[in-house]
Amino acid sequence: MEVDSDADSRFLEGTRHFLSWFQSLPGATFHQDIAIEDLRGRNAGRGIVAQADIAADTVLFTIPRSSILCATTSPLKDKIPDIFDLDNDDGDESDDEGDGSSQNSWTLLILILIYEYLQGSSSQWKPYLDVLPSTFNTPMFWTSSQLSFLQASAVTSKIGQAEADKMIASRILPVIRSHPQTFFPSSATPLSDDQLMQLAHRMGSTIMSYAFDLEQDMEIPEQLENDDEWEEDREGKTMLGMVPMADILNADAEFNAHINHAENALTAVSLRPIKKGEEILNFYGPLSSAELLRRYGYVTEKHARWDVVELPWGLVSSVLQSRLQVQPEVWEKVSALVQQNDEYEEAFVLERQSVDPSSTGLLEEPAAFTSLPDELGEQFKLCLKACKKVTESKNDGAVRALNDKDWRKRLYLETIIEVVMQREKEYGTTLEEDDQLLRSSFSDEREKMAVWVRRGEKQILREAQAWIKTQLEELRNKPVQQPEEEGRAAKRRRI
């Protein structure tokens, strides 16, 4: 790798400046045995590393609430108070006027960040803003060639570029355009719509991978306990905020620190003894590799235990139709009945059973594939009922077979195993080919992460296949209660 010493010294200078700014904040603490280190060598940006052995329950650093950049601390509140009346939706644009009049906690924080960024040196958060990223590895910023490495992963449909563009155009740009003096100080060159769009994307992505939900673990004062106003206040309590230093912590599925939220400050506390040289790690939640990539732009081996794969109902339905040999015009009626159900689902998620990390941040039990989703079984059952209703010919052998519980169970398992195998084929390469690829070297880290994501999904499909096989085996070994032949023959007959 080419060494860019200018960029390196800017990086180090940014870290130094940020740390001294942080330490100068009233009420902030930073333990003497930890340091912010340059972890770019392993694609992890900055991180915090123990410089000596640290005991469990040690306060690693303290962040005063006044230093958090959020709706309550932003100077923008005095300048454009109207936008602080939150809509309390989660980005749903249905009631959006397109004039920036309705904000949610997400869009408001984008505006707050853009405002601070445009204030340059006069922002009190400048040293902090300087260590926030300007580029991202999340799929939102990938080329179509890089995205193609994700193959048939459902994550490709969740990137949300178009929705983000729409949200920025309707909620962010109108506010900035109608308050030019507020956003652009006299010294600053106003930005074009395209530049603002890019800046908003950058801030949106920063929030996605850096912001915290600010819970307020406050005791309710007795005299206010039955006060309606207080209740209302508490309802809207979840506020997004940028928390300096807490967001320098990297994270993994096994971690050794936790951020505690108290009334006046947030503290990072060690969950167990941490050895000198160990990275201090937080936890972003039980996220699959695909979700970790989508939100944070990285993957780790340990997160793969929460990998998931989606089975579209359309695929289940078409495999079932061909197994039952139902004609297309009849199956259309069956499908219409299934879709009328209030709980109709378009896709089902296969996942392992996995316990959460322990209170000390360790994963104590392996994750295992132990069942198909109940909702999939319910919808399958509903589909068979619809099939029976539509075909009407009550004497038909297949309909009689549908009444046989074991036959239905076998039909379900055989259908899903076929769906699982077809789903794997949609990816274009096999699990074994991906494994081989992952053993080679990649010139593009994004391609490697994509292969990791798709490989994890294929692994779940294989585990699901193995589990279904054992279920079928058990069913085969079960004593037969009814003549088997009828059901089998019925399967071959047309309904």
Q: Which is nearer to ligand SAM, 47 or 487 (CB)?
A: 47
Stretch that binds ligand SAM, among 106-114, 234-242, 250-258, 487-495 (CB under 6 A): 250-258
CA distance linking residue 280 with residue 252, whole number of Å: 10
In the 8-state DSSP scheme, what is residue 172?
A: I
Q: Looking at 29, 206, 250, 256, which residue binds ligand SAM (CB under 6 A)? A: 250
Q: Which is nearer to ligand SAM, 125 or 298 (CB)?
A: 298
- Cβ proximity of 247 and 282 under 8 Å: no
Please count the residues of this chain forming the interface with ligand SAM, following the rule CB under 6 A: 16
Smallest separation, CB 145 to ligand SAM (Å)? 21
Stretch that binds ligand SAM, among 4-12, 151-159, 175-183, 245-253 (CB under 6 A): 245-253
Q: Which is nearer to ligand SAM, 245 or 338 (CB)?
A: 245
Q: Looking at 247, 310, 351, 418, which residue binds ligand SAM (CB under 6 A)? A: 247
Structure-token pair, residue 75: 């100077």
Coarse DSSP helix, strand, coil percentages of the chain, rounded to the nearest 5 percent: 50, 10, 35
Smallest separation, CB 424 to ligand SAM (Å)? 28
Q: Looking at 47, 100, 241, 487, which residue binds ligand SAM (CB under 6 A)? A: 47
Q: Which is nearer to ligand SAM, 16 or 381 (CB)?
A: 16
By the rule CB under 6 A, 357 interacts with ligand SAM: no
By the rule CB under 6 A, 256 interacts with ligand SAM: no
Q: How far does CA 320 lie from the centroid of its chain?
A: 32
Smallest separation, CB 366 to ligand SAM (Å)? 21
- Cβ proximity of 173 and 193 under 8 Å: yes
By the rule CB under 6 A, 44 interacts with ligand SAM: yes
CA distance linking residue 32 with residue 143, whole number of Å: 43
Stretch that binds ligand SAM, among 105-113, 243-251, 402-410, 411-419 (CB under 6 A): 243-251
CA distance linking residue 330 with residue 380, whole number of Å: 17
CA distance linking residue 183 with residue 122, whole number of Å: 12
The amino acid occupying position 166 is K
Residues in 387-446 at the binding interface with ligand SAM, rule: CB under 6 A: none
Cα-based distances in Å from 4 to 9, 10, 242, 292: 9, 10, 29, 29
The amino acid occupying position 297 is G
Q: Looking at 96, 116, 252, 351, which residue binds ligand SAM (CB under 6 A)? A: 252
CA distance linking residue 251 with residue 16, whole number of Å: 22
CA distance linking residue 421 with residue 417, whole number of Å: 6
Q: Which is nearer to ligand SAM, 45 or 286 (CB)?
A: 45
Q: How far does CA 275 lie from the centroid of its chain?
A: 30
Closest-by-Cβ residue to ligand SAM is 45
Residues in the chain: 495
Tokens 């959020």 belong to 70
Stretch that binds ligand SAM, among 51-59, 246-254, 380-388, 458-466 (CB under 6 A): 246-254
By the rule CB under 6 A, 84 interacts with ligand SAM: no
Residues in 113-132 at the binding interface with ligand SAM, rule: CB under 6 A: none
What binding mask, one character per residue, do residues 275-314 give for ligand SAM by CB under 6 A, x or -? Answer: ---------------------xxx-x--------------
Stretch that binds ligand SAM, among 8-16, 183-191, 244-252, 264-272 (CB under 6 A): 244-252
By the rule CB under 6 A, 238 interacts with ligand SAM: no
**What angle, 0 to 180 degrees and rounded to 10, lies between the N-to-C axes of helices 313-324 and 328-340?**
140
By the rule CB under 6 A, 153 interacts with ligand SAM: no
H or E segment to which residue 348 belongs:
strand 347-351
- Cβ proximity of 251 and 284 under 8 Å: yes
Stretch that binds ligand SAM, among 248-256, 308-316, 344-352, 469-477 (CB under 6 A): 248-256
Structure-token pair, residue 452: 């990791």
CA distance linking residue 119 with residue 354, whole number of Å: 46
Q: Which is nearer to ligand SAM, 299 or 417 (CB)?
A: 299
Stretch that binds ligand SAM, among 45-53, 54-62, 86-94, 189-197 (CB under 6 A): 45-53
Structure-token pair, residue 286: 């039980």
Residues in 181-220 at the binding interface with ligand SAM, rule: CB under 6 A: 209-210
57: left (phi over 0), alpha (psi -120 to 50) or beta: left
Smallest separation, CB 359 to ligand SAM (Å)? 21
- Cβ proximity of 11 and 40 under 8 Å: yes
Stretch that binds ligand SAM, among 37-45, 95-103, 165-173, 331-339 (CB under 6 A): 37-45
The amino acid occupying position 238 is T
In the 8-state DSSP scheme, what is residue 149?
A: T
Q: List contacts with ligand SAM (CB under 6 A).
A: 43-47, 209-210, 247-248, 250-252, 296-298, 300
